Structure 1
Amino acid sequence: MAIVRACWFVLALLLSAPVWAYQTRIVSIPSAAMQRSFDATVVLPDDYARGNHAARFPVIYVLHGSGGSYADWTSNTHIGKLADRYHVVLVMPDGGHESWYIDSPFDRNSRYETYVGSEVVSYIDTHFRTIASREARAITGLSMGGFGALRIALDRQETFGAAGSISGAVDPRNCEDEPGIAHVFGDPARHASFWNSNAIVDSAQDFEHAHIALTIDCGVSDFFVQSNRTLHEKLVELGVPHDYAERPGGHTWSYWSNSIRYQVLFFATGFQRAGWHPQVA
């Protein structure tokens, strides 16, 4: 009898536990701007395949950091579960090892803002059932990707209605010694104006009229925490609505895997408030 009860207990646990049935696909996305293709990870929620095949979904673009790749988020976190939980499509494009997601005036072969902000979005909207509206698109990323997400969102306000940054390098002037950064930003002394104009901390006023739903967080032990605090303080002074958090942790996957859960919840809540839940075309 005890064995039977134990079996029923285990069965009840299995039936009550969430079943994660999201699909992960690796796609090759061409770039006309750079005359080559790059791989990207796309995570589709379970109801994308199992539900109404006419339903369309909001999209969250998630960028990797310096030295990373399109596979980082799925290799180091359980981000796929968030696609199922919040009924969103997650897209993780490749941003190069040290591109900073900008269109570099110093390297014509490094056009990653155009690639991620335009070409990847166009590909995803063409090949997947997305809600092709700025109000149903968000972009975020970690470290270099946090900088890139905010830079792209500011420069392409017609494309993204929400943006985030996780442990973001929001002031690249603090990263002058990072190998490869001068290749895309130029020499820090000779091209200081370019560095200054691209620093997110110096672009805070651009968020005033951007109408971007904004979420920023950083670990209290992270070497980028002070520049993130500075950005937060400037946004407060300007009266720019935004979500800001500091949590225990440093510049690590342990912190990022926890943070992404809050950011996806933030974006999904915004989608729902705007009425952009999965919908039938």
Structure 2
Amino acid sequence: MSKFRTINFSTHVDGLEHVRFITAKTPNLKGRGDICAFIPPGTQPGDNLPVAILMHGVYGSAWNWVYNGNVHLAALTMIEQGEIPPMILAMPSDGLWGDGSGYLPHNGYNFEKWITEDILNALIETVPGATAASPLFIAGLSMGGFGALRIGAKYGHLFKAMAGHSSITSLPQMKLFVEEDLAEYAQSDNTDEDVLATVLKYKDTLPPMRFDCGETDLLIEYNRELHQQLTNHNIAHSYAEHPGEHEWPYWSQHIQTSLKFFAEQL
């Protein structure tokens, strides 16, 4: 029996041979949500392939990583060259609330459970090779980096590793991008509003973590500060800086490092 009242799965699309689109209705969104999925060639039912959830930033949606980042092409090449094993990429919308949901529960929606519960369940029902035993990873850019690092830390029992690119590191930074009042995002436990606070709260169950940022990115100082704070608290992590700004050419390049990092954890 389906875990969703309705779920819809696209057929083959010319030019996107290994990409499919899923739409599922869930109480967590009070309606439908979209997922874009890259499925490696040759995938068979029961393969238990690893699943990497890739989360977009503000203003975006499920199609961003494919149409702006070409991540499906990079993953296919990396698989063919043996740099990573066959791996499903699940690229959900954030729930399409305001300029960005922050992947947090608020205003009667649970954008966090959409990620931690609905995404894998939708894949299991529609995608060959995705099962309850599939190893899970999580990564994201900007607002998606905030979601990936925070959710990855909070749900360390679900994820084998987490990664962020040009990440928002604390909720107040959302105001650099969104017009919605920050009060709309407020959490009953303000630990959930900050990556460092979440990491420290769940430090005993943290999965491996990496994050990076462009040297001329508007969020670089926040990422440097997070790196230093994690170091001061003796929290194991990998941090890197590279030339680049808050832009798709940077994310398209460095998501490949995160996919390799995930492969290393298998």
Aligned residue for 1:278?
none
Aligned CA distance change for structure 1 residues 209 and 194 (closer, same or farther; 3 Å): closer
Offset from partner CA, 1:96-151 (integer Å, 9 cap, x none): 241000001xx11x3110111111122223333225347x1100110000001112
Q: Which amino acid in the other structure matches residue 132 of structure 2? A: A
Q: Which amino acid aligns with 1:180?
A: E
Per-residue deviation, 1:30: 2.1
Q: Which residue in 2 is equivalent to 1:168?
A: 167
Equivalent position of 1:66 in the other structure: 58
Deviation at 1:232, TM superposition (A): 1.0
Structure 2 CA distance, aligned partners of 1:74 and 1:203?
A: 30
Q: In the aligned structure 1, how far is the partner of 2:192 from the partner of 2:69?
A: 33
Checking the alignment, whether the CA contact within 8 Å between 1:29 and 1:120 is kept in structure 2 is no
Letter in 2 for 1:169: I
The one-letter code sitting in structure 2 at the alignment partner of 1:90 is L
- Map residues 90-169 of structure 1 onto 2, 5 A cutoff: 90-95=89-94, 96=96, 97-104=99-106, 107-108=107-108, 110-128=109-127, 129-133=129-133, 136-169=135-168
CA contact (8 A) 2:56 2:64 kept: yes
Is 1:99–1:181's contact at 8 Å kept on the other side of the alignment?
Answer: no
2:80 is the alignment partner of 1:81: no
2-side partners of 1:265 and 1:175: how far apart?
Answer: 29
Instruction: From the superposition, tell whether residues 156 and 180 of structure 1 become closer, same or farther in structure 2 (CA, over 3 Å).
Output: same
1:212 corresponds to 2:214 = no
TM-fit CA distance, 1:255: 0.7
Count matched residues: 240
Cα separation, 2, equivalents of 1:21 and 1:57: 20
Contact 1:219 1:225 in 2 (8 A): yes
Please list, as runs of the form range in 1=range in 2, the aligned pairs for 1:9-88 lying within 5 A after superposition: 23-48=18-43, 53-84=45-76, 85=79, 86=84, 87-88=86-87
Larger Rg: 1
CA distance in 2, matches of 1:54, 1:175: 40
TM-score by length of 1: 0.78
Identity of aligned residues (%): 25
Report the CA distance between 1:22 and its aligned residue. Answer: 5.7
Mapped to 1, the partners of 2:153 and 2:230 lie a distance apart of: 14
> Which runs of 5 or more structure 2 residues have no equivalent in the other structure?
1-14
**C-alpha distance in structure 2 between counterparts of 1:21 and 1:71, whole Å:** 12
Match of 1:11 in 2: none
Q: CA deviation digits over 1:134-193, x for unaligned, max 9? A: 7x110011000000111211222222121111100012223335312526324xxxx8x8
Partners of 1:173 and 1:213 in 2: CA distance? 26
Letter in 2 for 1:132: A
Q: How does 1:183-198 map to 2 (within 5 A)?
A: 184-186=184-186, 197-198=192-193
Find the aligned partners of 1:172 and 1:182 in 2 and give their Cα distance: 8
Question: How large is the RMSD of aligned CA atoms in angstroms?
Answer: 2.3
8 Å CA contact 2:138–2:162 kept in 1: the answer is: yes
Match of 1:15 in 2: none
CA drift at 1:79: 0.7
Match of 1:233 among 209, 223, 228: 228
Q: CA deviation at 1:21?
A: 8.6
Deviation at 1:205, TM superposition (A): 1.6
- CA deviations on 1:193-239 (whole Å, 9 max, x unpaired) are 86565111333423521231111010011111111111111222222
What secondary structure does 1:39 align onto? Answer: strand
Paired with 1:184 and 1:158, the residues of 2 have a C-alpha distance of 29
Moved more, 175-184 or 212-221: 175-184
Change (3 A) 1:196 1:66: same
Q: 1:47 to 1:238 in 2, by over 3 A?
A: farther
User: 1-side partners of 2:259 and 2:70: how far apart?
Assistant: 12
Distance in 1 (CA, whole Å) between partners of 2:174 and 2:162 is 22
Which residue does 2:4 correspond to in 1?
none
User: Which letter does structure 1 place at the counterpart of 2:54?
Assistant: V
